[in-house]
Amino acid sequence: MKLEKLEILKKHCYTPLVYQRINKKLGVNFSVKEIEHFIKKIIKETNKNNFEKIGKNFYVSNTKFNIKITVNSNTFRIITVDKLVK
C-alpha cells in the first residue's frame, strides 16, 4: 500500500463542496487552507497498514485524529471524512 500512500499524498485534490462537507462532518469551521493542511497531515502520519482499498475508494483511517478519509482511487479526490466509531 506504500505506492498508494505516496500517490494519494501527491495527487489528492478537492471539490469546492467537500470543504463544507468536511467542516460539517467534523463540527469545525476550518478555512480551505486549514482543511488542506489537516488532511495532508493525517495522510502523512497514517501508517500504511491503515490504508485500505475497497471498490473504487481508498479509506485512510487514523485513530490518533479519530478520522477516516475517503478518497476516490481514480481521481484521488477527497470525497468525505468521518469520525471513527469508538
What's the alpha-carbon Rg for the chain, to the nearest Å? 12
Comparing CA positions, the residue from 6, 45, 5, 38 lying closest to residue 22 is: 38
pLDDT at 81: 97
Residue in this structure with the C-alpha cell 485512510, named with its chain if needed: 60
| Residues in the chain, total | 86
- Enter the pTM of the model: 0.92
Give per-10-residue mean pLDDT for the chain (86 aa).
82 96 96 97 95 95 96 96 87
